[in-house]
Structure 1
């Protein structure tokens, strides 16, 4: 089994237009060997030129170890990753990838409700296939700006009425009240898409759904309502016994790396999960967009790129 930090060289063997503004890439190892195994919900890091590292959900079949498939939306206001993929990755391009990593794993359930907005369909596509294979009951509510902007409609068409395609210019906003009207402790809700959609689904699931029923994946950091701590605190590195001070204007990740400790990281925004670190003692001040409310309350891990400490000291498994 591949470690999530391992790197693999791949070559782009397929590139096509998946929807307006969305390019679909098929990746294969140059020697044709099997790629690392993955499960629905997983993403891979693309190690692009110029120091760019971006995460994209794997949206093909986990059973096909020969290739990986990703779909990337061009983000006009982005930080350069999607523009690089669209403008510079062509058939024959070689690059390195890292992972896969899964912060959005599909848990067993009798029934699933999937909610996708735009490119948020990518992690849900293999989940739908897995739910179908498992014989679970499921429905997918899929929204987008226009029908032409919505990828994978042809693949989803085979599922008939289980999939509700709702382009905003044809049907308006998604009817989440109706779709999420029946809370059930045997049902899990999985949602991925733009922040307004995620916030709306979270609001509805807080009102009546069992704790833990909702799982969300964010492409951008969630806006925190509570201010971050402004005090310095100590971080004890359990493996070496070193103690470092994290000042108010620096992250744990920054301080640890400056001390010469090698740690994996990627987004530095608390969305990818790459820098997740075990907490051995202390209470983290969670600022990430990855952990569930239950995982935050447990306090067993933290994303050291954005999270801080509620108290004067943390002991980390570093």
Structure 2
């Protein structure tokens, strides 16, 4: 009989564990069990084929991605997103806007507004590496829902509406945009129900004060779009519908609050950059290193994590563990409590 050595035991355990994770990731149970902790920080790394590119509106294209072998993709729940690793090395995050019941493909939609999005608009075929799905904007259980989407903010909302319709939950969607030509998925939404479409060139600039009262008592209210859309919404909803809950997702960095200026020295080059009281360390670093890695700019994806070699960090992220915070920081949101920091860049 062949001896069963410890090393072979470990290899067997690793193989079984890997197989289990693969089966679990593609099961229908995975999204249900992941609800209590919706943000998966590591995700699944996948090389997916670009199956289809569709122009959905002015400056908006959708990409449909699939496993090259035709295998089922890891399951997801409404509100999830993917991290895309682009050919240039940039990393960007985009909400999944397809149907969670479709296990064969993922769909994202991208408006052309920056370098990363322009690169995606130029993709026509080939493969892209993705990480995910991850979810920091999950659809909660509620008796009714009010969805408010501004422009490309419709992308995480669309699967939520589809889920509510599928399970018979009462919902209402107010969809805002510059013009109908700039608003993706109008036809698709029209097939799901009576959607309140309010383009600016027909209705004027949106006023959240007139929209929030549309929520039923105790409803879950989801806001996704430009920062101006959600300004003051939480306080107003608390006044007019105290039993309701507000859920928001932003496509831009949070404004810096309680900031003090400090210096950041880049250890590898010796350069020192000044971080203003009202700007992030990332913004200041990018003046010296435009190609520094970053993605969400809101402190949860971990892309901008750097080693800290000196100084005291004011940690403001939602991602790093206590152990990781001893010697690391996310420069998109965290700051310094000392006059200067030294980081490994």
TM-score using structure 2 length = 0.67
Does residue 158 of structure 1 match 2:191? yes
For residues 296 and 188 of structure 2, what CA distance do their matches in structure 1 show? 34
Unaligned runs of 5+ in 1: 233-247, 253-264, 278-282, 313-318
Shift of 1:228: 5.3
Aligned 8 A contact 1:268 1:305 in 2? no
CA distance in 1, matches of 2:260, 2:244: 25
Name the stretch that deviates more: 129-138 or 52-61: 129-138
Aligned pair partner of 2:120 in 81, 85, 88 = 85
Match of 1:181, SS state, is helix
User: Structure 1 residue 93: deviation in Å?
Assistant: 1.6
2:231 counterpart of 1:199: yes
Of residues 26-35 and 182-191 in structure 1, the stretch that sits farther from structure 2 once superposed is 182-191
Which structure has the larger Rg?
2
Please state whether the residue corresponding to 2:190 is helix, strand or coil. Answer: helix
Deviations 1:79-132 (A, max 9, x none): x11000012x10x32111011110000000001110000000000000001111
The answer to whether structure 1 residue 109 and structure 2 residue 147 are counterparts is no
Q: Does 1:20 align with 2:58?
A: yes
Runs of 4+ in 1 over 6 A off after TM superposition: 248-252, 309-312
Alignment of 1:247-286 (within 5 A): 266-267=294-295, 269-270=297-298, 273-274=301-302, 286=316
Is residue 10 of structure 1 aligned with residue 54 of structure 2?
no
Distance verdict in 2 for CA 1:183–1:10, change over 3 Å: closer
Structure 2 counterpart of 1:178, from 194, 210, 215: 210
Distance in 2 between the 1:107 and 1:229 partners?
Answer: 39
2:173 equivalent to 1:140: yes
Provide the C-alpha distance between the structure 1 equivalents of 2:181 and 2:144, rounded to a whole number of angstroms: 29
Residues 1:272 and 1:166: Cα distance change in structure 2 (over 3 Å): farther
Q: How many residues align?
A: 265
In the aligned structure 2, how far is the partner of 1:213 from the partner of 1:13? 38
Out of 3-12 and 16-25, give the one that drifted further.
Answer: 3-12
1:48 aligns with 2:86: yes
Specify the alignment match of 2:287 in structure 1.
Answer: none
The equivalent of 2:200 in structure 1 is 168
Contact kept? 2:92, 2:296, Cα under 8 Å: no
Contact 1:228 1:285 (8 Å CA) reproduced: no
- Once residues 337 and 259 of structure 2 are traced to their aligned partners in structure 1, the CA distance between those partners, rounded to angstroms, is 15
Change (3 A) 1:309 1:221: closer
The alpha-carbon distance between structure 1 residues 95 and 155, as it changes in their structure 2 partners (threshold 3 A), is same
Secondary structure (helix, strand or coil) at the match of 1:27 reads: strand
1:188 matched to 2:220: yes
Q: Paired residue for 1:58, among 77, 96, 101? A: 96
Judge conservation of contact 2:213–2:240 (CA < 8 Å) in 1.
Answer: no
CA offset at residue 174 of structure 1? 2.3
Cα distance between partner residues in 2 of 1:47 and 1:231: 30
| Post-superposition offset of 1:37 | 1.0
Shift of 1:173: 1.9
CA-CA distance at 1:276 after TM superposition:
11
**Cα deviation 1:135-156 (Å, max 9, x = unaligned):** 2111000010010100000011
Report the aligned-residue RMSD. 3.4
